[in-house]
């Protein structure tokens, strides 16, 4: 089983270096062009992979995070716009809006109940007495 370990390590190095080289920006690759690094990694897997890690890989980390839509490395809840600020005036505006919303819902409920009562009364008038 141990005799396969060098082969598995070499394949893992090849795959890692190949993917890393492909995803790297062409203008940030060092010493050779990106295409030559890809050729070197594929033709000489062990030497090319080690050379890529030592001399070709960009030194600065990528500017992107795993989730390109966010700048907080995948925690979008920290980027959501807040509806109100944290001050007392904002809390008062929120309470006032909630009161207006409650009043509107109460008015709609009263109108709905009035419509139902009117329908029931019309149905009672139209119903023949038995």
- Of the candidates 45, 48, 65, 68, the one whose C-alpha atom is nearest the C-alpha of residue 57 is 48
Round to whole Å and give the CA distance between 50 and 23. Answer: 17
For residue range 90-121, what is the model confidence (pLDDT) as tens digits? Answer: 788 889 999 999 999 999 999 999 999 999 99
- Residue 16: pLDDT band (50, 70, 90) is very high
- Residue 27: pLDDT band (50, 70, 90) is confident
CA dihedral 16, 33, 45, 8 (to 10 degrees): 0
The string over 72-100, giving b where at least 16 C-beta atoms fall within 10 Å of a residue's C-beta and e elsewhere, is eeeeeeeeeeeeeeeeeeeeeeeeeeeee
- State whether residue 11 is helix, strand or coil: helix
Round to whole Å and give the CA distance between 10 and 35. Answer: 21
Q: Is the pLDDT of residue 29 over 70?
A: yes
pTM for this one?
Answer: 0.47
Instruction: State the CB neighbour count (10 A cutoff) for residue 48.
Output: 22
Share of the chain above pLDDT 90, in %: 43
pLDDT average, residue stretch 10-18 = 92
Report the residue count for the chain: 130
């Amino acid at each position: 089983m141990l005799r396969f370990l060098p082969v598995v390590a070499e394949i893992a190095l090849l795959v890692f270096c190949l993917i890393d080289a492909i995803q790297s920006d062409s203008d940030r690759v060092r010493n050779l062009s990106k295409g030559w690094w890809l050729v070197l990694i594929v033709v000489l897997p062990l030497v090319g992979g080690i050379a890529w890690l030592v001399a070709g890989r960009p030194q600065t980390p990528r500017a992107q995070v795993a989730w390109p839509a966010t700048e907080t490395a995948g925690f979008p809840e920290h980027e959501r716009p807040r509806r109100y600020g944290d001050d007392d005036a904002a809390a008062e505006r929120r309470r006032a809006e909630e009161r207006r919303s409650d009043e509107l819902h109460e008015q709609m409920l009263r109108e709905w109940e009035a419509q139902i009562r009117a329908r029931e009364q019309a149905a009672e008038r139209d119903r023949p007495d038995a």
